[in-house]
Chain A
Amino acid sequence: MSGAGIKEPILELRDIVFGYKLRRGENIRIFDGLSLDVKYAEFVGIAGPSGCGKSTLIRIMAGLIKPEKGEVLFRGKPLKKPTPRIGIMFQNPALFPWYTVLENIMLALIHEKDLSEKDKIERARVFLDMVGLTAFESAYPAELSGGMKARVALARALVSQPDLLLMDEPFSNLDQLTAISLRREVESLWLNQSMPPSSVVMVSHDIEELVELSDRIIVLTKRPAKIAGIIEVDLDRPRQRRSPEFYKYVDEVYTLLS
């Protein structure tokens, strides 16, 4: 599926300009000509001081927000609006409370006109199984724990078999243990060649989490955000948080942030 050349970019941001207008008429520049690439089969982490526009950046990558100027290229073509080829997982799981777990996942197959209802159920079940929630397919979101909701959100982001998975602080609302196991799952899914996604972009304020998962960490500056530095993390997976090498990378990110 993602068989294109390994070092080819799957997503390119070219000279992105974006700002908000305050009520008083003041303009706040978030990005003033930001460019970056995400390559095939790559796990990219994005770090930056709070308020620098990390969440806005991920929304621009998803096609949810249109930049004022600049281009977003997805697989070489301009990205005009959200596509099922890009999955996104928000900080808040945002499941629809009136649908069951399975129905919530099936919602992401809304555009698959070729699939029959039965196929959709089957496909949704595969991904539900993948996140380990098979027994909960007819439960409603209100009956789930925070970690389970995050798993459902992950399954929903992946069920359309996207090439790119975007994650906006996906583990920040979870307790430590749940976050650890979910991080492992995301990593093994990404490493699994036969399963989507090919590439992952994750925004996080947890530096250790970024070093644990990313091939490359892009560190942004304060507003208007520019790239403060890019760190290639060259450690074997699964990475050990206790090792001195690991901390060398963590310190490197902190240095760039401050």
Chain B
Amino acid sequence: MAILEELLTILVAVGISWARMTAALIISIIFSLCVGILAAVDRVAEKIIIPVLDILQSIPILSFFPIALYAFIIIHPVIGPELAAIFLIFTSQAWNITFGVYKNVRLIPLELLEASKALDLSLWRRLSSLYIPAAFPGIASNLPPSWANGLYFLVACEIISIGEVEWSLPGIGTLSTSYIMAGRMIEFIMSLAAVVAAVILTNLLVFIPLMRLSERYKFEERAAEIPRVWIEKVSGWLSRVARRISFSVSPRITLFELRIPWKASRILLIAVLTIMVALLGHSISGRVSAEVTLAWAQDVVEAFQRLGVVDPLVMIGFSLARVSAAVAFGLLWTLPVAILIYEKRTLEKILIPPFQVIASFPATLILPLIAKTVMDLGLPLELGAFLMILLGTQWYLLFFLLDGLRSIPYEEEEVCKALAMTRLQKLRHLYLPRILPSLIMGLIVCFGGGWNTLVIAERAVLGGFTWDLRAPGIGRMLSIAVDEGDLALLIAATIWMAGFIVLLNRLLWRRLYEKAVRIVGVA
């Protein structure tokens, strides 16, 4: 009976967490449609939105969570932490969906754009009959990674302590961490299984049907195929239902058609966004006086002085080495596996579904377990950090590499075959050049994930005990600042870290990517 009761507790906790994630996902989708479409259709908006998004997605989410928490508690002291959690999850889900929307709307064939111009379609008509359908595949294909990403941070944002004050929101993250700390392994494993089951069900019943449905909205003819598995028999009818719904809904939408001319609507859209941002800013600033703000600014400046220049650079150097080591190891196994899966279609059917499940499983759930095991067994602490970063990054690499391999045109494969190339020759002349852009993209995302994991992997307060590398690291610095409730120090350390990451992206990754695209000759 006790087990059953515990199971019920776990299921309720998963339900609460899922509701939190769904709320964040809905906000993410609305955000991505507004911002992504705007960036794709308006040159001026594009010049502002894309670099801002680029910076936003490079900032480690966990580092600004405490700052967001403060802001939301000022807005509303009771539901503030809940709003902050949803906001954090939103920031982990929104950017890639927005880029997906942006990319797909940008890819709309010129003829279609010209046709809609010639027909002089109104804003709503353009959105409902062109931009949103075009954006749909970009949203659908980004749902699983966004969900996985959100899940990753969900666990981290359900329990948070700043200095003396601790918040814990009801949910599976809080529950499973409490199991680990109490040493209740059976219940911990049960909670992991519940999360796995919920992830699989969500993918089957929601994401896969949506992705299948979105196939129809793609412009490219050779759309990358989603592996068909037995699972689809379950979700097949759902996708059929979804299709039917979409048919019955679309004519009704046109009834609500707003007669706003296109040019005016663009200004309207920008105005609405500006008002939204202004309102948010006002609701915070209305409760904080000018003097307090000034005092905060002084604190932050003082924190920068306390940190100096050499120390943060040393910390960043150590952190960079940790992430690099884990990513390099990840590449070592994912490259051959990706090629193997690409070449053997049957392997794809067998391996991809479990890989997808494992990949969407939040590594943060296991981090406490790794920390505890490494400490209990007296293993090197760096090994623990390495494992944690590896868990947080390797799957990105695999999926990006596979994506690159799947983009290889069939004709090029055939030429290699006709020239009787050996596998090594094919690797050199076809695979490596073709996957270069996706490989670099994968590395960028990987390093992004790595920096995020650092915030936990270098130091974390886990209920009863503290996981601490006791070696320099910028993530450790952030964790210490949170622990001491030193918001100014936290902001200073975050700016150091985010600044370095943005710089790295601009000076290294962006250039490498552009070079790769130039060499391969595809955008």
Contacts of B420 in A (CB 8 A): 81-84, 111
> A98 with B433: in contact, given A92-B411, A110-B425, A140-B521 (CB under 8 Å)?
yes
Asked if A88 is at the interface (CB within 8 A of a chain B CB), the reply is yes
Asked if A64 is at the interface (CB within 8 A of a chain B CB), the reply is yes
Q: Within the assembled complex, what's the spacing in Å between the Cα atoms of A90 and B425?
A: 21
> When A and B form their complex, which 10 residue pairs have the shortest distance between CB atoms, in order from nearest?
A97-B521, A94-B411, A98-B433, A92-B411, A82-B420, A88-B418, A94-B415, A98-B519, A82-B418, A142-B521
Q: Within the assembled complex, what's the spacing in Å between the Cα atoms of A64 and B522?
A: 27
Q: List 14 A-B contacts (CB under 8 A).
A: A82-B418, A82-B420, A90-B411, A92-B411, A94-B414, A96-B430, A97-B520, A97-B521, A98-B519, A107-B419, A107-B429, A108-B419, A110-B421, A110-B425
Q: Which residues of B contact A (CB under 8 A)?
A: 409, 411-412, 414-415, 417-421, 425, 429-430, 433, 519-522
- CB of B419 within 8 A of CB of A110, answer yes
Q: Within the assembled complex, what's the spacing in Å between the Cα atoms of A111 and B412?
A: 18
> A94 with B409: in contact, given A64-B418, A82-B419, A107-B429 (CB under 8 Å)?
yes
Q: Which residues of A contact B (CB under 8 A)?
A: 62, 64, 81-84, 88, 90, 92, 94, 96-99, 107-108, 110-111, 140-142
Q: Within the assembled complex, what's the spacing in Å between the Cα atoms of A171 and B417?
A: 22
User: With A88-B418, A94-B412, A98-B519 given, can you name 12 additional A-B contacts, CB distance below 8 Å?
Assistant: A62-B418, A64-B414, A64-B417, A82-B417, A92-B411, A94-B409, A94-B415, A96-B415, A97-B520, A98-B521, A110-B419, A110-B421
Q: Within the assembled complex, what's the spacing in Å between the Cα atoms of A83 and B412?
A: 17
Q: Within the assembled complex, what's the spacing in Å between the Cα atoms of A99 and B429?
A: 9
Contacts of B429 in A (CB 8 A): 96, 99, 107
B427 to chain A, nearest CB (A): 13
Contacts of A83 in B (CB 8 A): 420
Most buried by B among A96, A108, A111, A142: A96
Contacts of A81 in B (CB 8 A): 420
Q: Which B residue's beta carbon lies closest to that of A103?
A: B429
Q: Which B residue's beta carbon lies closest to that of A111?
A: B420
Q: Within the assembled complex, what's the spacing in Å between the Cα atoms of A83 and B421?
A: 10
Which of B412, B414, B425 has a CB less than 8 Å from the CB of A96? B412
Q: Is the interface of A mostly helix, strand, loop or mixed?
A: loop
Q: Within the assembled complex, what's the spacing in Å between the Cα atoms of A96 and B418?
A: 14
- CB of B520 within 8 A of CB of A98, answer yes
A101 to chain B, nearest CB (A): 13
Contacts of A64 in B (CB 8 A): 414, 417-418
Q: Which B residue's beta carbon lies closest to that of A143?
A: B521
- CB of B433 within 8 A of CB of A96, answer yes
Q: Within the assembled complex, what's the spacing in Å between the Cα atoms of A90 and B415?
A: 9
Q: Within the assembled complex, what's the spacing in Å between the Cα atoms of A97 and B425?
A: 16
Q: Which B residue's beta carbon lies closest to that of A23?
A: B228
Q: Which A residue's beta carbon lies closest to that of B436?
A: A98
Contacts of B415 in A (CB 8 A): 90, 94, 96
Q: Within the assembled complex, what's the spacing in Å between the Cα atoms of A84 and B415?
A: 12
A162 to chain B, nearest CB (A): 11
A91 to chain B, nearest CB (A): 8
Q: Which A residue's beta carbon lies closest to that of B430?
A: A96
Q: Within the assembled complex, what's the spacing in Å between the Cα atoms of A94 and B17?
A: 50
Q: Which B residue's beta carbon lies closest to that of A89?
A: B418
Q: Within the assembled complex, what's the spacing in Å between the Cα atoms of A88 and B421?
A: 14
B254 to chain A, nearest CB (A): 35
A180 to chain B, nearest CB (A): 24
B223 to chain A, nearest CB (A): 16
Q: Within the assembled complex, what's the spacing in Å between the Cα atoms of A142 and B523?
A: 13
Q: Within the assembled complex, what's the spacing in Å between the Cα atoms of A83 and B522?
A: 30
Contacts of B409 in A (CB 8 A): 94
Most buried by A among B414, B429, B522: B414
Contacts of A88 in B (CB 8 A): 418
- CB of A97 within 8 A of CB of B522, answer yes
Q: Within the assembled complex, what's the spacing in Å between the Cα atoms of A110 and B522?
A: 25
Contacts of B418 in A (CB 8 A): 62, 64, 82, 88
A121 to chain B, nearest CB (A): 17
Q: Within the assembled complex, what's the spacing in Å between the Cα atoms of A130 and B152?
A: 61
Q: Within the assembled complex, what's the spacing in Å between the Cα atoms of A190 and B164?
A: 87
Q: Which B residue's beta carbon lies closest to that of A64?
A: B417
Contacts of B417 in A (CB 8 A): 64, 82
Contacts of A90 in B (CB 8 A): 411, 414-415
Q: Within the assembled complex, what's the spacing in Å between the Cα atoms of A110 and B423?
A: 13
Q: Which A residue's beta carbon lies closest to that of B518?
A: A98
Q: Within the assembled complex, what's the spacing in Å between the Cα atoms of A88 and B415?
A: 9
B491 to chain A, nearest CB (A): 45
A16 to chain B, nearest CB (A): 19
Q: Within the assembled complex, what's the spacing in Å between the Cα atoms of A99 and B433?
A: 10
B226 to chain A, nearest CB (A): 14
Contacts of B430 in A (CB 8 A): 96
A79 to chain B, nearest CB (A): 12
Q: Within the assembled complex, what's the spacing in Å between the Cα atoms of A96 and B411?
A: 10
B220 to chain A, nearest CB (A): 16
A95 to chain B, nearest CB (A): 8
Contacts of B421 in A (CB 8 A): 110
A70 to chain B, nearest CB (A): 20
B429 to chain A, nearest CB (A): 6
Q: Within the assembled complex, what's the spacing in Å between the Cα atoms of A231 and B261?
A: 64
Contacts of B521 in A (CB 8 A): 97-98, 140-142
